[in-house]
Amino acid sequence: MPNHQLLPRLPLLPPSAEVLSPDLAVARDGKMVVLFNAGGAFYTCAADDQAGLRLAVSITARLRLAPVTTLAQHFKVHRATVHRARRLIEKGGVDAVQPGNRGPKGPHKLTPEVLRKAQAALDGGASQRETARRVDVSHFAIAHAIHQGRLRKPVDTQSTIAWVDEPTLSRPFERAANDQSCEAGVAVKRTLERALACSGKLAEAEPKFEAAEAVPNAGVLLAVPALEHEGLLEVGGQVYGGLSNGFFGLRSVLLTFGFMALLRIKTPEQLTEHDPGTLGLLLGLDRVPEVKTLRRKLAELGERGLVRTLMTTFTERWAKAQPDELGILYVDGHVRPYHGRTHVLPKHHMQQRGRPMPGTKDFHVNDRNAEPLFFVTAEATEGLLATLDEKLLPEVRRLVGPGRRVTMVFDREGWSPKRFAKWKKKGFDVLTYRKGKMSTWRATSFHKRKGRVGGELVEYALAERDVKLSNGMNVREIRRLAEDGHQTSVITTNKKLSTLTVAHRMFSRWRQENFFRYMRHEFALDHLCTHEVEPADPKRIVQLERERKMLIDTIKMAAYRAETSLTRLVEPLFARHEDESRKFLKSIFQATADLIPDRRRKSLTVRFHGLSSPRATRALAELCAVVNERDCVYPATDLKLRFEVPALQK
């Protein structure tokens, strides 16, 4: 029925009309859509005319006849679509909002037949992801169609049952008062288990979740399935087995470091800035480990000398999961500066500072998508060439197998025609910038090349020649001509890659540089978890102890990969894909949520509070739907993780 409080400014309306504002009403009879303003009906189109409906949105938005949110909800489009439609009609008139020849006249994926099959799959109990697989579309296409009303989710009788037996949730001020009143220390409540731990009779405290309201940082639990997928606990348990008997064991220590990385808690000392009881809720414990406890556990792991085995096991797992990404690998060095004065350390060139500084240099190997695989720490002043020869290439060969050729991408630090010939015989091609003096090629030699490489549309002005290096070795030289006339020269021994692919893969080294920058700023890659040293060479130069640092960095790499896997799920929802997606996830990890354990249903529900905007809440809802389908169980429990988001008005 029309809202009679809004009628005075509108004419008499048909019974089916819906009043959207004092200046706009919409009537639908199944076949036609009619728009009314104060002067009467002013626009009509067929109900199935998508172009006509698009024009209706544009006109009403341009005339500001109703709020943007109201228009978006009524026409079942995103608010950004309404804004975009208004801008288009303001700049280019009616023609600007017509589809023209941009593509098919209707949905090229979700055709009526596909929608019918998808609805049948949903009605038959298939999940959204399974439905998408059956009809060969993306999961987000199905989710978006449900949001638009083109598909219906079957009613889940279990999920619609009211929480009649929902436990009473503890409130933040109640938890704070209880934590501060504990006689054994802040938030130390499980005293019996701690007494058993002190006597060596407890291997590790089990997670026991409490019902809690408004838990800060509870959003990081959304990353638990991703951390499990990357192997944080499985690989850690496989390599270390466990820690000495105590309240905090290997599982809780690894999860603590993983959560710290995702929450941007960059050092153990920064844990003192957070409520220990609140962080303990995320572990299913009464509190998070104290700083001295966490450092003692880290020292225990370091003393076992198994970090190389840990990294190797992680790398093998990641390589096995994505073998197609190992054909092209990026190699680059990263210097961790040392600002202390206690020890004399070898100096390395710091690109960010433009000068050499004392520190330790790690050489990282990333896959074709710049995802981290492994790294090695250079001995004293060992450079890229020696490290490639003695450590990196043998490890890569072990990963990919004996017969597969691999192209290694690196900068001019790895220039060595003699080694290029040696590596080629061993099945390794190189891709790097040419070093030395070069003659200028004529501008007429360059031609525009455009195409897709790795899913990206790229275009360069390129030229290619076969050239001989100083040792007589034949290689391909590809040059790019910039708009200012500068020529960038790239050489490769790979004869199969196209000219465009060679150029793009070389110029994509910025991805690995971005990885270093992101890890420094967000994951504190340069933080020294210990200032202890170990011998480096006979000249009494020492280097920072590597075992504990490599252990923490390996956990951070697993956390980064877990974040990346979630990033790929939400990237289609954001215009600036990765940048916006990572910022969004960072806010999600730090978001507040309720924790509701249900031992009868064997579930742990993480109920998010609303986010800063409807767009962010919708993105979170779609991400939660994907994660829920994985049916992940919280480690060391039988509680299935379930994530809920407040419902938004449609």
Three-class secondary structure of residue 235 per DSSP: helix
**pLDDT tier for residue 536 given thresholds of 50, 70 and 90:** low
pLDDT for res 160: 38
What angle do helix axes 128-135 and 112-123 make, rounded to 10 degrees? 140
**pLDDT tier for residue 124 given thresholds of 50, 70 and 90:** confident
Q: Which of 135-144's residues contact partners 24+ apart within 8 Å by CB, and which partners?
A: 137/109, 137/110, 138/572, 139/626, 140/572, 140/573, 140/622, 141/109, 141/110, 142/118, 143/622, 143/625
pLDDT over 70 (residue 103): no
Q: Contact 630/225 with Cβ under 8 angstroms?
A: yes
Q: Contact 264/514 with Cβ under 8 angstroms?
A: no
Strands (E) across 382-510 are located at 406-409, 428-433, 447-453, 456-468, 474-481, 487-492
Distance CA 347, CA 363 (A): 15
* pTM for the structure as a whole: 0.76
For residue 489, how far is the Cα from the chain centroid? 33
* Residue among 297, 353, 361, 292 at smallest CA distance from 544: 361
pLDDT for res 372: 96
Q: What is the pLDDT of residues 135-155, one digit of tens each?
A: 888 777 787 787 677 888 765
Q: What is the pLDDT of residues 275-286, one digit of tens each?
A: 999 999 999 999
Average pLDDT over residues 316-325: 94
Domain ranges of the chain: 4-97, 112-154, 172-304+553-644, 315-549
CA torsion 550-556-561-562 (nearest 10°) is 140
pLDDT for res 6: 45
Q: What is the pLDDT of residues 470-522, one digit of tens each?
A: 999 999 999 999 999 999 999 999 999 999 999 999 999 999 999 999 999 99
pLDDT for res 90: 81
* Residue among 85, 87, 63, 91 at smallest CA distance from 72: 85
Residue 1 CB neighbour total at 10 angstroms: 8
pLDDT for res 537: 58
CB burial string 435-449: b at 16+ within 10 A, e below: beeeeeeeeeebeeb
Identity of the amino acid at 288: V
CA torsion 517-523-527-528 (nearest 10°) is -120
CA torsion 353-357-359-362 (nearest 10°) is 50
Q: Contact 634/208 with Cβ under 8 angstroms?
A: no
What angle do helix axes 276-283 and 172-180 make, rounded to 10 degrees? 110
Distance CA 6, CA 3 (A): 6
pLDDT for res 610: 81
**pLDDT tier for residue 161 given thresholds of 50, 70 and 90:** very low
pLDDT for res 255: 98
Average pLDDT over residues 608-622: 88
For residue 119, how far is the Cα from the chain centroid? 30
* Residue among 537, 532, 541, 515 at smallest CA distance from 358: 541
**pLDDT tier for residue 341 given thresholds of 50, 70 and 90:** low
Q: Contact 79/68 with Cβ under 8 angstroms?
A: yes
pLDDT for res 48: 84
Average pLDDT over residues 289-318: 95
pLDDT for res 158: 42
Alpha-carbon radius of gyration of the chain: 30
Q: Which of 506-510's residues contact partners 24+ apart within 8 Å by CB, and which partners?
A: 506/409, 506/431, 506/432, 506/433, 506/478, 507/480, 508/370, 509/330, 509/332, 509/409, 509/411
Tokens of 582: 């990572």
Q: Contact 397/366 with Cβ under 8 angstroms?
A: no
pLDDT over 80 (residue 205): yes
Q: What is the pLDDT of residues 406-446, one digit of tens each?
A: 999 999 989 999 999 999 999 999 999 999 888 999 999 99
pLDDT for res 87: 83
pLDDT for res 137: 80
**pLDDT tier for residue 380 given thresholds of 50, 70 and 90:** low
pLDDT over 60 (residue 378): yes
**pLDDT tier for residue 542 given thresholds of 50, 70 and 90:** low
Comparing 50-64, 92-106, 318-332, 366-380, the range with the smallest average pLDDT is 92-106
pLDDT over 50 (residue 565): yes
CATH number of 315-549: 3.90.350.10
pLDDT over 50 (residue 174): yes
Average pLDDT, the chain: 86
Average pLDDT over residues 394-400: 95
pLDDT over 80 (residue 454): no
* Residue among 215, 378, 228 at smallest CA distance from 281: 215
pLDDT for res 67: 87
pLDDT over 80 (residue 575): no
pLDDT for res 165: 54
Which residue has better confidence, 146 or 297? 297
Comparing 142-156, 284-298, 373-387, 543-557, the range with the smallest average pLDDT is 142-156
Comparing 66-75, 231-240, 571-580, 606-615, the range with the smallest average pLDDT is 571-580
Identity of the amino acid at 202: L
CB burial string 619-646: b at 16+ within 10 A, e below: bbbbbbbbbbeeebbbbbbebbbbbbbe
DSSP letter for each residue of 274-324 = S-HHHHHHHHTSSSPPPHHHHHHHHHHHHHTT-HHHHHHHHHHHHHHH-GG
Identity of the amino acid at 107: P
**pLDDT tier for residue 130 given thresholds of 50, 70 and 90:** confident
pLDDT for res 345: 56
